[in-house]
């Protein structure tokens, strides 16, 4: 509580909006990191296991929990009686759903990265207004030390806004690239599965 009171005294009116933005950024960083890491590691682990055991894709009646990659392959296996074009359409719709899931929260991170510097700038302007208002009402001589203290407190909100915006924008870009890479791997594996269902066996562990 004392820490929050100290932040409020340093950042002024914009302290709570900036604190909320920092909490959102931290929460999304943790959630996206764990989600994407789990999706990546689980998919690669199951793919290596299937290749090692000589099984290309899950059986049609296999209902055990699977990674995202095997869920997509299982969808194609369940519709193997359909034509290749229909399976490709199913895969496209499924991949679009996975894109939304893997990119979840990234727009919020981008929004926080845009809003945080503006909140910091607004806090600085409000701090300067209050500082000059106090100086005008005091009637005492203005000293460099007094101006330095007032300007330092006012500019602290801009610094806080930038410190929040940098990881928010960087996270949105990095997690977006990571999600796109996972989607490329999913697309590649679904294409392999579709060819396998057409009777075209593909060797290798790629």
What pLDDT does residue 26 have?
96
- Is position 121 within any domain? yes
Q: What is the mean pLDDT of residues 148-152?
A: 70
Cβ(80)–Cβ(104) below 8 Å: no
Secondary structure string (H, E, C) spanning the chain: CHHHHHHHHHHHHHHHHHHHHHHHHHHHHHHHHHHHHHHHHHHHHHHHHHHHHCCCCCCCCCCCCCCHHHHHHHHHHHCCCCCHHHHHHHHHHHHHHHHHHHCCCHHHHHHHHHHHHHHHHHHHHHHHHHHHHHHHHHCCCCCHHHHHHHHHHHHHHHHHHHHHHHHHHHHHHHHHHHHHHHHHHHHHHHHHHHHHHCCCCCCCCC
**Cα–Cα distance, 128 to 24 (Å, whole number):** 28
pLDDT, one tens digit per residue, over 1-59 is 555 566 656 666 778 899 899 999 999 999 999 999 998 888 777 777 766 655 555 55
Domain presence at residue 145: yes
Number of domains in the chain: 1
Q: Look at residue 204 in the predicted model and tell me its pLDDT.
A: 45
Nearest Cα to 190, choosing from 69, 64, 25?
A: 69
**Residue 52 included in any domain:** no
Q: Is 41 part of a structural domain of the chain?
A: no
Ranking 40-49, 57-66, 79-88, 123-132 by mean pLDDT, the lowest is 57-66
In a domain, 143, yes or no: yes
Percentage of the chain beyond pLDDT 90 is 36
| Average pLDDT value over all residues in the chain | 82
Residue 80 falls within a domain, yes or no? yes
Q: What is the reported pLDDT for 112?
A: 96
| 176: in domain | yes
| Residue from 45, 49, 79 nearest 194 by CA | 79
Greater confidence, 3 or 144? 144
Joined together, the tokens standing for residue 130 give 């209050």
Range of the domain at 192: 2-24+70-197
Decide if 130 contacts 149 (C-beta within 8 A): no
Question: In sequence order, what are the residues at sequence separation of 6 or more whose Cβ sits closer than 8 angstroms to the Cβ of residue 45?
Answer: 67
Q: Record the pTM.
A: 0.80
- Flag whether 204 is in a domain: no
- The pair phi, psi for residue 20, each rounded to 5°, is -60, -45
**What is residue 60's predicted lDDT score, i.e. its pLDDT?**
54
In whole angstroms, give the CA distance from residue 158 to residue 119.
Answer: 8
Q: Which has the minimum average pLDDT: 39-48, 59-68, 82-91, 153-162? A: 59-68
Give 129's pLDDT tier (boundaries 50, 70, 90).
Answer: confident
């Amino acid at each position: 509580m004392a820490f929050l009171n100290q932040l409020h005294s340093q950042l002024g009116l914009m302290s709570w909006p900036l604190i909320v933005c920092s909490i959102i950024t931290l929460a999304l960083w943790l959630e996206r990191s764990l989600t994407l890491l789990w999706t990546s590691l689980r998919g690669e682990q199951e793919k290596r296991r299937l290749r090692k055991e000589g099984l290309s894709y899950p059986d049609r009646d296999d209902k055990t929990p699977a990674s995202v990659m095997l869920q997509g392959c299982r969808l194609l296996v369940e519709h193997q009686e359909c034509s290749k074009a229909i399976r490709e359409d199913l895969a496209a719709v499924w991949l679009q759903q996975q894109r939304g899931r893997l990119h979840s929260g990234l727009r919020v991170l981008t929004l926080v990265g845009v809003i945080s510097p503006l909140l910091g700038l607004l806090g600085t302007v409000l701090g300067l207004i209050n500082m000059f208002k106090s100086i005008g009402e005091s009637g005492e001589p203005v000293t460099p030390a007094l101006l330095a203290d007032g300007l330092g407190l006012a500019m602290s909100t801009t610094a806080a806004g930038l410190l929040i915006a940098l990881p928010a924008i960087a996270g949105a870009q990095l997690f977006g690239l990571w999600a796109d890479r996972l989607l490329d791997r999913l697309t590649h594996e679904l294409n392999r599965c579709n060819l396998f269902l057409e009777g075209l066996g593909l060797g290798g562990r790629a």
